[in-house]
Amino acid sequence: MSRPLTVMLVAAEASGDALGAGLARALKARLGDQVRFVGVGGSRMAAEGVDSPFDIASLSILGIFEAVAAYRTVMRRVAETAALAAREKPDVAVLIDSWGFTLRVAHALRKASPDLPLIKYVGPQVWATRPGRAKTLAASVDHLLSIHSFDAPWFEAEGLKTTFVGNPALAKDFSRADPARLRAAIGAGEGEDILLVLPGSRPAEIKLVMPVFEEAVKRLKAERPDLHVVIPAAGTVLESVRAKVAGWPFRAHVIEDEQLKDDAFVAGTVALACSGTVTTELALAGAPMVVAYRIGAASYAILKLIFKSPWVTMFNIAAKAFVAPEFLQAECTSEKLARAIAERLDDPALRARQVAAQNAALELMGRGGPDPSEKAADTLIAVLAERGVKA
């Protein structure tokens, strides 16, 4: 039997872990036991056979100054990732999202193995900020798998081959979700309201965002003691979320089972969500939401100077409107969040209008297209074929 194709997958955050797991599944469906995986990732990639040498939670860094403070940790992890590649000798490396970390990994791999094909999965948002990163990426990798249809011109202008594979978040399937199963699990009656609380997948988000979310929920629970609170927690922060919730003066159900998470997304009356990929998934599940975010004050001041879009939520960007309200930084207060959530809890017509607007924005984003993981796998195999590597 010939040597299996060895694919290195590198992800540093929960969203990238999901992308890597999807790509691994698609490659296994095509190549069976003729593909093996090495790399860096979280629990989802581990379930697909990627044995990470370290916990990626240490790489989930939020903010510019926070990144500077974590520089030594990042570089140590880069060295460990490069050492893994030297031992395992992959045929191709796929570097997923997480700009700062994966760019450094790309440079380390290129220096150690100049002929190793490097594929970047998810490009930096150069259309919103720092367009110079397109040139930097073009000089660092061989191919880009893009999740936005409008990415290609930015990167191809710099000579980087780009394939639009679609946004995996848009391929999330909630057809098997059962809201009754979630209600039974938490003891919620048929007509009782459920508030979903999604405080993020990075340790810094749990530190900066979750306390505000707790205070907002306290305000709501004071007036609505029967409101059920459900927290579908990301694996990267599960234990810290549990520790925080253990001290809350009211009951909150922390959900870690993936099927129950899907059930919760469909069952939720309203969601309070930290900005990120999860907002697209909530929209796909038909959940009206309030979006909030906080980072360090100094990092935010710099980000405001370079970020060009008035919106941060992807479906808001697609719609060019505040389909879901966004409360960022100083606007992210417990009072404002509780008020926006209460408005939606009290007004079914408002919820229905928001869900309809979210659905329209999802159509603009390309919902219903082919499975991005399938297209990403096909592209990877094609890139290798161009280099004479048979998969």
Residue 40 counted as domain residue: yes
The answer to whether residues 299 and 198 belong to one domain is: yes
Confidence label for 318 from pLDDT (cuts 50, 70 and 90): confident
Taking all residues of the chain, what is their mean pLDDT, rounded to a whole number? Answer: 91
The answer to whether residues 99 and 112 belong to one domain is: yes
The predicted-structure confidence for 181-221, as pLDDT tens digits, reads as follows: 999 999 999 989 999 999 998 888 899 999 999 999 999 99
Range of the domain at 277: 179-365
CB 249, CB 219: distance < 8 Å: no
Would you state the structure tokens that stand for residue 332, as one six-digit string?
Answer: 């992210």
The answer to whether residues 316 and 226 belong to one domain is: yes
> Cα(78)–Cα(98) distance, rounded to whole angstroms?
12
The answer to whether residues 112 and 189 belong to one domain is: no
CA dihedral in degrees (333, 339, 340, 343; nearest 10)? Answer: 170
Helix (H/G/I), strand (E/B), else coil: 69 = helix
The answer to whether residues 204 and 146 belong to one domain is: no
Residue 262: give its domain's CATH number.
3.40.50.2000
Q: Identify the residue whose tokens are 């993020």.
A: 200
As for how many domains the chain has, the answer is 2
The answer to whether residues 86 and 145 belong to one domain is: yes
Q: How much is the pLDDT for 126?
A: 81
Percentage, residues of the chain above pLDDT 90: 73
The answer to whether residues 186 and 327 belong to one domain is: yes
Can you give the pTM of this predicted structure? 0.72
Tell me: pLDDT of 60 over 80: no
Tell me: pLDDT of 58 over 80: no
The answer to whether residues 183 and 162 belong to one domain is: no
Residue 172 counted as domain residue: no
Mean pLDDT of 17-34: 96
Cβ neighbours around 219 below 10 Å, total: 17
Residue 335 counted as domain residue: yes
The answer to whether residues 298 and 374 belong to one domain is: no
Q: Which residues pair with 35 in a beta bridge?
A: 5
